[in-house]
A = this chain, B = another copy of it.
Amino acid sequence: MNELIVHDTDNTPIYRILLEESFEGLVPLLHSLDVSNRKLCVVSDSVVGELYGKTICEMLKEAGFFSVLFTFPAGEASKNLSTVEGLYDFLIANSFDRNDVLLALGGGVTGDLTGFAAATYLRGIRFVGIPTSLLSMVDSSIGGKTGVDFKAYKNMVGAFYQPSAVYINVNALKTLSEREFLAGMGEVVKHGFIRDFGYYTFLKEQRERILGKDTETLRSMVYRSLCIKKAVVERDPKERGERALLNFGHTIGHAVEKLSNFSMLHGECVSVGMIAAAELSVLRGTLSKEDASRIREMLSSYGMRTKVPALGREDLLSVCHRDKKSDGSKIKFILLDSIGNAFIDSEVSDEEIWTAFQAII
């Protein structure tokens, strides 16, 4: 459980994901990537830059690398083209060429925007993901989605672009705030809900160890979540079919996230979005009321968000309809027919969406 290899659709290995307990292994990983004589730029937000960025940059210099640190203000508000342009400027000022490498050190915002900068600087340079939040470890670090928000639209601008490697220090989870850790747990339990009843059971039984941040339990959890996500994105890298299942909880979740002006974390919105989607599944007659209750109980037992402030019907529905996952005029909802088995439903009515939303206010 120290390593996974992600493959492309014709089964060629693309990159390794390492699960370690410190940042020490970064140096040998970089040596294995043929980056000798190349420049490295560690990209971090202001918080993670202070916490780990400076130390890692120093560690790389001591190992003989040319290494610089670029930081930007922490928060979703920085995930835009203007921050990316600031990074381009920094790379140009440091004469980075197409053989040099970015290291994305931080959470989902850092990974998404660094990946996008790597995808577009000089038509694409290499980058290594070093996710430090739970959300980014189990979700955004794998699957090749990069991008930034544009105006009020989340991830409106981006590219599918794969990292050269992903390096996970599981112990970085111990420095997360409780709120951020739980936001990541939203995606973790989602993996159980959509694909793996056994994993759901593991998460239910190991709750105390997980919340107590036991290193080995965390490593098992991150590993099992990555295995589920990896299997889905390997079969459907560009989200033409199955990969959409990973959006369970995300349609109403995104709407809530947007209408709250991003005052809630993504994972918190996904948590309530999953409760609403389970409720929709009950309304559509595919999921039992008992399973919907189990889903709510699981989220609640972890202390995750289960309620949001009320929203207007027109606001909610119009944002749902404009969500980028919509295909033509229909909204694709991900529903469940049991815990561990999700499917795509394009026949959900506005009335059903509104009724399901009542379950989370």
Please list the residues of chain A having a beta carbon within 8 angstroms of any beta carbon in chain B. Answer: 37, 81, 85, 88-89, 92, 95, 97-99, 119-124, 145-147, 150-151, 153, 155-160, 238, 322, 324, 326-328
Q: Which residue of B lies closest to A155 (CB)?
A: B123
- Say whether B153 contacts A92, CB under 8 Å: yes
User: Could you say how many copies of this chain the assembly holds?
Assistant: 2
Give chain B residues whose Cβ lies under 8 Å from the Cβ of A147: 120, 123
Q: Which residue of B lies closest to A146 (CB)?
A: B123
Once bound together, how far apart are the Cα atoms of A157 and B157, in whole Å?
A: 14
Ordered by A's residue number, 14 sampled pairs between the chains whose C-beta atoms are within 8 Å are A81-B85, A88-B150, A88-B157, A92-B151, A95-B322, A97-B324, A97-B326, A120-B120, A120-B157, A121-B156, A123-B145, A123-B146, A123-B160, A124-B160
Give chain B residues whose Cβ lies under 8 Å from the Cβ of A121: 156-157
- Say whether A92 contacts B123, CB under 8 Å: no
Residue of A37, A121, A146 with highest tally of chain B CB at under 10 A: A121
The verdict on A159 contacting B89 (CB below 8 Å), with A97-B328, A326-B97 known, is no
The verdict on A159 contacting B81 (CB below 8 Å), with A150-B88, A151-B92 known, is no
Once bound together, how far apart are the Cα atoms of A310 and B277, in whole Å?
A: 69
Per CB-CB distance, the 3 closest pairs between chain A and chain B, nearest first, are A123-B158, A120-B157, A123-B160
A83 to chain B, nearest CB (A): 13
A117 to chain B, nearest CB (A): 9
Once bound together, how far apart are the Cα atoms of A122 and B99, in whole Å?
A: 27
A271 to chain B, nearest CB (A): 25
Interface of A, secondary structure class, is mixed
Once bound together, how far apart are the Cα atoms of A157 and B116, in whole Å?
A: 11
- Partner among B85, B119, B155, B156 whose Cβ is within 8 Å of the Cβ of A159: B119
Give chain B residues whose Cβ lies under 8 Å from the Cβ of A153: 92
The verdict on A120 contacting B159 (CB below 8 Å), with A89-B151, A92-B151 known, is yes
The verdict on A328 contacting B99 (CB below 8 Å), with A123-B158, A157-B121 known, is yes
Given A81-B81, A95-B322, 19 more contacts at CB 8 Å? A37-B328, A81-B85, A85-B150, A88-B156, A88-B157, A89-B151, A92-B153, A92-B156, A97-B326, A97-B328, A120-B147, A120-B157, A120-B158, A121-B157, A122-B324, A123-B146, A123-B155, A124-B160, A159-B159
Give chain B residues whose Cβ lies under 8 Å from the Cβ of A322: 95
Once bound together, how far apart are the Cα atoms of A150 and B122, in whole Å?
A: 10
A161 to chain B, nearest CB (A): 8
Once bound together, how far apart are the Cα atoms of A59 and B98, in whole Å?
A: 42
Once bound together, how far apart are the Cα atoms of A148 and B121, in whole Å?
A: 10
Q: Which residue of B lies closest to A91 (CB)?
A: B156
Give chain B residues whose Cβ lies under 8 Å from the Cβ of A326: 97
The verdict on A158 contacting B81 (CB below 8 Å), with A37-B328, A92-B151, A98-B324 known, is no
Once bound together, how far apart are the Cα atoms of A99 and B326, in whole Å?
A: 10
A108 to chain B, nearest CB (A): 15
Q: Which residue of B lies closest to A122 (CB)?
A: B324
A71 to chain B, nearest CB (A): 21
Q: Which residue of B lies closest to A98 (CB)?
A: B324
- Partner among B92, B99, B156, B327 whose Cβ is within 8 Å of the Cβ of A327: B99
Give chain B residues whose Cβ lies under 8 Å from the Cβ of A85: 81, 150
A262 to chain B, nearest CB (A): 18
Once bound together, how far apart are the Cα atoms of A322 and B122, in whole Å?
A: 13
Give chain B residues whose Cβ lies under 8 Å from the Cβ of A88: 150, 156-157
